Amino acid sequence: MDNIGTVMSNFDHDIDTEKESALVQDSGKVGEYTAYNFFAFVWHDGDQFVCHIRRYRESVEEVTGETLHDIMQEANNKYGWE
């Protein structure tokens, strides 16, 4: 997969809409989701986004959602908004 860099971040809770569109248009792309309490890779698969969450160098969970905003809500509610 082609890594397109940071797509979303907990620093300012921003989602880069141009990169979000790039993920939807090309399923061969993956983006990064940076946060204080976790790091994740995000990609688009079919009709949903997938977020592979890692903490302390360990894979912990995959979260899916219709939008990156949905993923941000679920991941942050579980792992923290920092």
Instruction: State the 10-residue block means of pLDDT for the chain, 82 residues long.
Output: 95 95 96 96 97 96 97 94 81
Note the pLDDT of residue 13.
93
Note the pLDDT of residue 1.
83
C-beta of residue 39 within 8 angstroms of C-beta of residue 68:
no
Give buried/exposed letters for 18-53 (b at 16+ CB in 10 A, else e).
ebbebbeeeeebbbbbebeebebbbbbeeeebbbbb
Note the pLDDT of residue 81.
84
- Segments making up each domain of the chain, as ranges: 2-79
11 class by beta-carbon count within 10 Å (0-12 exposed, 13-18 middle, 19+ buried): exposed
